[in-house]
A and B are shown apart, each in its own frame.
Chain A
Amino acid sequence: MAERVLMKGNEAIAEAAIRAGCRHYFGYPITPQTEIAAYMAKKMPKIGGVFLQAESEIASINMVYGAAAAGMRVMTSSSSPGISLKAEGLSYIAGSDVPAFVVNVQRGGPGLGGIQPSQSDYFQATKGGGHGDYRMIVLAPASVQEMASLTIKGFNLADKYRMTSMILADGTIGQMMEPISFEDAEIETYEKPWALTGTEGKRPHNIVNSLYLQPDQLEKTNFERYERYKIVEENEPMWEEYMMEDAEICVVAFGIASRVAKNAVVAARNEGIKVGLIRPITLWPFPTKPLAAAADKVKSFISVELNMGQMIEDVRLATGCKRPVTLCNRTGGMIPSPEQVLESIRNAQKGE
């Protein structure tokens, strides 16, 4: 096994991106993700890469758009208010079918909100955020190790499907340090015949574009794009199941909430309550299969979230509302304690 090093989650993303072949980073400072930019500013010039602090979030995502269209592995990172500003660019990137990698280390909202950890951009990440029919692959790391591994995975998936991959992390996982080992990154390479390289007089010009003034053409393009999304939904859902074999109650949680929930599951098991955890790792595509299967076995679900209840809607959809789903949450930068989650589990056990 590779050597274990201690790293902050944000730094793990930056290092993994470099290992994944990313040599271009465009960003704008915002708490709590700034370590990513700082790491890139230090490293990129030494490895022949580009770190550029843009004048705004809007400019940085449009720089990403240009670099992605030029065929490069490129990224930007931000936190909630900054991602709202990037929404325009994310929509253009989706409409032009170029691959990009974007990190959202979430903080509380709406508005300027706060700077403490949150998961309240779940809707924005999984249901759109920018205008138009489009999807992003949304990856939710729950550890520093996953910040790295899902970054590498994210770059590969982006290139594979010509989509944006977004890491949806939060301030806790961004700021915390854990041991991590960098196995050799598995870099998948894909041909990019559509990229802007200059024609060299050898081929017709490539056009990277999201404008279709003929509605039938735009519809056709959207239909084709959603055929591709269907393949993603079929092949790419990722999740973790924990103590689900005999579970009668299923806790659903992602990211930092799943770490808290795991503690609560262990504590509830010690009280003799048969409870397990399903942790979505991809939030889009949402892992509907294991949840649908669980709905045939368990009495009820508890969605643990750092928001006012956003993923809970996908849990209800995935389970066809066969079983009750309750919410255990904190918001605004607060994190539920294991005791709070345990209390929810006890209540579920009592059928409340």
Chain B
Amino acid sequence: MAVVFEKPKSLTDVQLHYCPGCPHGIIHRLVAEAIDELGIEGKTIGVAPVGCAVMAYDYFACDMIEAAHGRAPATATGIKRCRPDNIVFTYQGDGDLASIGMAETVHAAARNENITIIFVNNAIYGMTGGQMAPTSLPGQVTQTSPYGRDVNHCGWPIRVSEMLSTLEGPEYIARVAVNNVKNVKNAKKAIKKAFENQIAGKGFSLVEVVSACPTNWGMTPQQALAWVESDMLPYYPIGVYKDRTAAKEAEGK
């Protein structure tokens, strides 16, 4: 019988701890598939964040390190500068990357640090139980914005991909989603490209994955995916925000 689907080699057999309906499992699989397909598992070093994906170090079969909250791009920089021939990626959530770790993110991008960043944006702090994130939408109800995010009081959500794409530094910035099959397939392509860029030495590649948090959004998984489509994606449009190589090629034509 032909095998049509199997667990990627780059994932261990450890059971994931994520909530039912959480897209982290899908995103982990996409990352692992990209690593498998590129044949780089043996030289890949992953950096886990603080947040829901904190225990990613148990799930990916490559060498892993657990970074301090928000510091994954700095830790990845330290590793990559020591071991330029290894492939180094971080896997970070919105609180980790866009709040406490914004400086590390921006400066790694500005340096065009040759690393790959998987940025999971689900507009909420999941692990601590659903507090307002730097990417929570205006009016979004969370534990720490119980009357809805009031932008006059605590500001506007940050569009990370758009912001980083204004920098000269980075090679590739793209936003994808995992709320339907078509988007998952496109997400996979972007993630793989982000690793290919690193292999080719092109530099900083970040893929923002618009995700969902049914548990803390207080929705069923189906409702959550629908909310991604109706509320998240209009504020966070899917697209390639920067692709230096493609831009150069287009210029050449």
Contact = CB atoms under 8 A, between A and B. Distances in A.
B76 A66 contact: yes
Contacts of B75: 62-63, 65-66, 69
Interface in B50-80: 54-55, 57-58, 60-68, 71, 74-80
Interface string A52-80: 10111011101111111111101000000
Size band of the interface chain A makes with B: 35 or more
Given A198-B62, A200-B43, A208-B64, A70 B71 contact: no
B28 to A, nearest CB: 14
A196 B66 contact: no
Interface residues of B, number: 36
Contacts of B44: 198
Given A70-B78, A201-B42, A59 B71 contact: yes
B64 A55 contact: no
Interface in B218-241: none
A56, A89, A196: which has the most chain B beta carbons within 10 Å?
A: A196
A52 B107 CA distance: 12
A206 interface: yes
A72 B71 contact: no
B82 interface: yes
A263 interface: no
A26 B66 CA distance: 19
A64 B79 CA distance: 9
B104 interface: yes
Contacts of B124: none
A201 B41 contact: yes
24 contacts: A54-B74, A55-B106, A58-B103, A59-B77, A60-B74, A62-B75, A62-B78, A63-B78, A65-B65, A65-B78, A67-B82, A70-B45, A92-B68, A196-B63, A196-B83, A196-B86, A199-B42, A199-B62, A201-B42, A205-B61, A205-B64, A207-B66, A208-B64, A211-B66
Lowest 4 A-B CB distances belong to which pairs? A66-B78, A63-B78, A198-B43, A62-B74
B64 A207 contact: yes
Interface in A74-99: 74, 88-89, 92, 96
Name the prevailing secondary structure of the B interface residues. Answer: helix
Interface string B81-107: 111001000000000000000011011
A281 B104 CA distance: 36
A217 interface: no
Contacts of A74: 78, 82
B60 A63 contact: no
Contact of A89 (B68, B77, B79): B68
Contact of A66 (B12, B54, B61, B79): B79
Given A58-B71, A196-B45, A197-B83, A66 B66 contact: no
Interface of A: 24, 26, 50, 52, 54-56, 58-60, 62-72, 74, 88-89, 92, 96, 196-202, 205-211
Nearest to A204: B61
A24, A88, A205: which has the most chain B beta carbons within 10 Å?
A: A205
Contacts of B42: 198-202
Given A66-B65, A66-B79, 10 more contacts: A50-B82, A59-B74, A59-B103, A63-B74, A63-B81, A65-B75, A70-B78, A201-B42, A205-B60, A209-B64
A50 B113 CA distance: 13
Contact of A209 (B41, B57, B71): B57
Contact of B78 (A26, A197, A207): A26
B78 A198 contact: no
